[in-house]
Each structure stands twice: as structure tokens, then as C-alpha cells.
Amino acid sequence: MQITNTTDYALRIIDYLSEKGNLATEAELADNLKIPIRNISKIMNILKNNNLINSEMGFNGGYSLAKNPERISYFDVISATESSMNLNKCLERNGVCSRNCIETCNVRKVLLKVQEDINQNLKNITFENSFNQSEIIEKRYLLLKVDLNSLDMNIISIKSKFSDLFNNYMTYDEFLYKFINHCVSKEDRDRVKSFLIDFKNSEKYYQDSQVKYRSEDGKTWMDLDKHIDDTQMVLMFKSYEYIYENQDKTNISYLQQDMMIVNEFWDMVSLLETVLAHNKLEDHESLHNISFFTEQIYKELQLNFPEYGILDNEIENISKLATIHDIGKISTPYEVLNKKGKLTKEEMDIIKKHPLNGANMALKLPKCGKASKLVQYAYNICLYHHERYDGQGYPKGLIGDEIPLCAQVVGLADAYDALISERPYKRKINHGEAVRMIVNGECGSFSPKVILSFIIASMNKTWIEKVSK
């Protein structure tokens, strides 16, 4: 594979827009990047159709990124502009082989591995920080679960130096000793120890704290989040370490600080998805499906109901956040969530608390600048996704468009996914029957506009192929 001029230009355009951070005109791009202006419109149409850029018309119009730079990889750009990413035709799904030996060809197996490595490497290269004078040296994450009866510890996710210090073979007491002495500055140790052992005889609650990380410069801070329920405690540790060229952290531009917080926001969303999957509240396929269904319904709303003023980045953000709509269920007893029989009124009341629990967790996500809007989306999705258009939903019984649009769409996507998925308490229902039940109001009432958009989206070939696997 040798990239074409179109791809080369597209990569340079995305890099330039990442560095600029705001709108750029065709003339500006042509002048600064030395690209023939006749080529730019064609390239921009390709990038726009692949949701990589936005365009604004008018005297003050131009082009800007549709996603944050760290969410765009070289693979995204190259796969958008090249007809094929494959080294040769035999690597395609319906590979071409003159000898009809695709399944047994050793050369093809080797090339497939090379192709996979190339694709993965391109996905790992993003446009993050191309405009930023600061460089992220390290991100540290540790996500663990502790059984409050036995104090058995289970590491869910771990990154960076933490992986050299901790493992699942140690007890929680051993973890505490090592963490406090190796990771916490002396002046914070007593406070952190109290924070991490304060769980006995506790009711359900959520707490957070900030401590100084033990580092040479003494400037690195770590955030600690603690969630307690009846039988377990979930702890989340996260920190960033940055180096700044000729400037102090307090003097970083607003744009740079804003991007750092947005990056941290999405990192935290990813960790919450990990918690859901680890606790078997949602599997990875279901999380991906709900995100997909939300995106497709939103695109039809954007196309057919311009009065909503839906932007491409709104669709992208809400589709990603749809995956954490049920994060509040980590406070719900496992036996209630997975009960095979009918729930009692008391058990149903417990279930109905998860939207509020999730909304409270969403408010703990990093928020400032652009991230504030993302936190509002997350809050609305978590709190209102079980509200229904006729006021018969919960927890607040909102009616009609009192329910935020993002929650209406995610609520419908969630209801549909629940129907087509097997659960301990129900069988799997086929696509056609699930659509019929949604339209007939058997899962509660939804906005007529959202229902129509769902019907159109669910007839799409990509949707049908996805749910037919």
C-alpha cells in the first residue's frame, strides 16, 4: 500500500486544524500547506462524510475538526481516503487467489499478521497534542474492587507504574501499605490511609479526594474516587504528569487546559465502561450496540428534523456516552439485577434508584470548559433514560419534551437492545418483533419524532446486519 496525494493532503489538513484549534478557510489551507486549492473541496467532502471535520458556510465560515485531536487516528484518515487499506487483494474479505488456496496459504497468513500490525499502529497514532506545547509524560490509572467481608482485592484495570507495584496476589492490607509508602507524599499519608480504610459499617456512598503523588518535582496530583455499596468497594486512582516547556502550569493557555480536561473526561468514561463490563452489568457487545443504535437514531433525527439543530459532534458525544447510561447499577445488589422471577415492589424500588445514582456519578466526571457540556449530557442520560413521553417513566415522571432529547434517544436504544438481548429473566426477541413492540408502546411511550427516526434507522442494511449476527 502506497498512500495517494489525496491521503497525504488529508493528513496534513487534519494536523493543521489540530494545531490551529479553530476555523480555517480553503484559501488559508492552500496557502499554508501548499496544497492546490482545487483539491481541497474534494478532500473536505471525504473527511466530512467520515465525520472527521465540520464545515461552516458564510463570510466567516471555514473548516474545523469534528472530533478532538486525540480521538482522530492516522488510520481514521487513511481508511477514509484510500479505497483499500490492504497490502494486496488476497487480504480482503472475499480474497482473490489464482490458486484458490486462501485458507491454506502460508504467505497470506504472514501478510495478514503484517496487515494487522500496520492497522493497529496507525490506530495508535493520533493528532493529540500536535498544537500543545505541553507533553504528557505519563498517565497513571488503577481501578480495583475490594470485597468488604473478606478484603479480597481484584484489579480491574491498571496502567503505567502502578502495574510494577500492584497485582491480584496481594491482600488489600498489603496494597494499602505499598500504595501509601510508594505513591503518596509524606504530608498526605495519614489522610489517605483514613480515606481508604473508612468503609466498615458504612452505607452506600460516593466519595472523592485529591492527594499529592510522590514524585521528584512534588507537583503531580492524584485523584481518588471511592464507591461503597453493601458488599464491595470500588476504588479509582488516576493522575497525569506533564512537562511544560518554558512555562508554568498556571500559565498554560485556556485551550490547552480545556483539551486536557476533555481528554481526562473521556478516559474516565472508558474506565466506567470497564467497571460495567467487569461487574457483568453490561457486556462489551451490548455497550457497543447501544452506542451504535443511539448514533443511527440521532442521524435520522438530524436529517429529518432540522428544528432540533443537531450538530455532528453532538451525535458523536452522546453516542459515546450512551454506554454509561446504567452506571448507577453498580450500587444495585447483584441478586436483584439478575433475578429470574418477577421483582417485588421493594426490589423494583431498588432498581429505580439507579438513574439517580448514575447521575450523581456523572457529576463527578472532570468538568470545565468543553467538558462541562459533556458532563451535562452524561448527567441527563443517566438520570432520565427511563423517563417516558407520557409521564409514566421514572425517576421524576417527566412529560413530553421535558425529557432531554439525548435521554429520549438513549432510552429507546436501551429498550430495543434489552429486547433483542438474552437476559436471566427473559428470552431474546428477534429484530422485527422488537421494532413492533417499541412502535406499539409495549416498552413505554416515546416521542413520535424519535419513534419515526428509530423506524427509518432500523430498516438500514447496516443495522439489520448488525443485529442478525
The domain spanning residue 283 has which CATH number?
1.10.3210.10
Distance in angstroms (rounded) separating the CA atoms of residues 35 and 242: 35
Q: Write the CATH number for 44.
A: 1.10.10.10
From 201, 229, 247, give the residue that closes a domain. 247
Considering the domain architecture, whether residues 120 and 145 belong to the same structural domain is answered as no
Q: Is 213 domain-assigned?
A: yes
Cell 429520549 locates to: 408
Q: Is 268 domain-assigned?
A: no
Considering the domain architecture, whether residues 83 and 172 belong to the same structural domain is answered as no
Omega before residue 333 within 30° of 0, cis:
no
Distance in angstroms (rounded) separating the CA atoms of residues 88 and 76: 20
Beta pairing partners, 65 = 53
CB 276 within 8 A of CB 330: yes
Considering the domain architecture, whether residues 47 and 171 belong to the same structural domain is answered as no
Considering the domain architecture, whether residues 170 and 113 belong to the same structural domain is answered as no
Q: Is 96 domain-assigned?
A: yes
Q: Is 387 domain-assigned?
A: yes
Type of residue found at 367: K
Distance in angstroms (rounded) separating the CA atoms of residues 391 and 381: 17
Considering the domain architecture, whether residues 113 and 144 belong to the same structural domain is answered as no
Considering the domain architecture, whether residues 347 and 399 belong to the same structural domain is answered as yes
Grid cell, residue 124, equals 495508535
Q: Is 129 domain-assigned?
A: no
Q: Is 263 domain-assigned?
A: no
- Note every long-range contact of 143-146, with CB atoms under 8 Å and residues 24 or more positions apart, other chains counting: 143/234, 143/235, 143/236, 143/237, 143/271, 143/274, 143/275, 144/175, 144/234, 144/235, 145/232, 145/233, 145/234, 145/235, 145/278, 145/279, 146/172, 146/199, 146/232, 146/233, 146/234, 146/235
Considering the domain architecture, whether residues 86 and 150 belong to the same structural domain is answered as no
Locate all alpha helices (DSSP H) within 248-283, ordered by sequence.
Answer: 254-278
Type of residue found at 396: K
Q: How many residues does the chain have?
A: 469
Distance in angstroms (rounded) separating the CA atoms of residues 258 and 247: 17
Considering the domain architecture, whether residues 238 and 283 belong to the same structural domain is answered as no
CB 323 within 8 A of CB 287: yes
Distance in angstroms (rounded) separating the CA atoms of residues 81 and 376: 35
CB 424 within 8 A of CB 340: yes
Considering the domain architecture, whether residues 344 and 223 belong to the same structural domain is answered as no
From 106, 124, 142, give the residue that closes a domain. 124
Considering the domain architecture, whether residues 57 and 195 belong to the same structural domain is answered as no
Distance in angstroms (rounded) separating the CA atoms of residues 101 and 153: 50
Give pLDDT tens digits for 446-461.
999 999 999 999 999 9
pLDDT tens digits in sequence order for the chain, 469 residues long: 567 888 888 988 998 888 776 788 888 898 888 888 888 888 999 999 998 998 887 666 788 888 877 778 888 898 898 887 777 767 766 666 656 666 667 776 777 777 777 777 777 677 754 444 444 445 677 888 888 888 888 887 777 667 778 888 888 989 999 888 888 888 888 888 888 888 765 555 556 666 666 654 445 677 787 877 667 788 888 775 544 444 444 444 445 556 667 777 887 888 788 777 766 666 677 788 999 999 999 999 999 998 998 988 899 999 999 999 998 888 787 778 777 778 888 889 888 999 998 998 888 887 766 778 899 999 999 999 999 999 999 999 999 999 999 999 999 999 999 999 877 666 789 999 999 999 999 999 999 999 999 999 999 998 998 888 7
**How many domains are contained in the chain?**
3
Q: Is 165 domain-assigned?
A: yes
Q: Which of 57, 67, 2 shows the shortest CA–CA distance to 26?
A: 57
135 dihedral zone (left: phi>0; alpha: psi -120 to 50; beta): beta
From 226, 247, 268, give the residue that closes a domain. 247
Q: Write the CATH number for 153.
A: 3.30.450
Considering the domain architecture, whether residues 142 and 243 belong to the same structural domain is answered as yes
| Domain range enclosing 220 | 134-247
Give pLDDT tens digits for 330-379.
878 777 877 777 888 888 988 899 999 899 888 888 776 677 889 999 99
Beta pairing partners, 241 = 138
Considering the domain architecture, whether residues 194 and 106 belong to the same structural domain is answered as no
Using CA atoms, how far residue 348 sits from 130, 309, 325, 432, in Å, is 50, 37, 18, 29
Grid cell, residue 340, equals 429470574
B/e letters for 100-139, b = 16+ CB within 10 Å, e = fewer, are: eeeeebeebeebbeebeebbeebeeebbbbebbebeeeee
Q: Is 373 domain-assigned?
A: yes
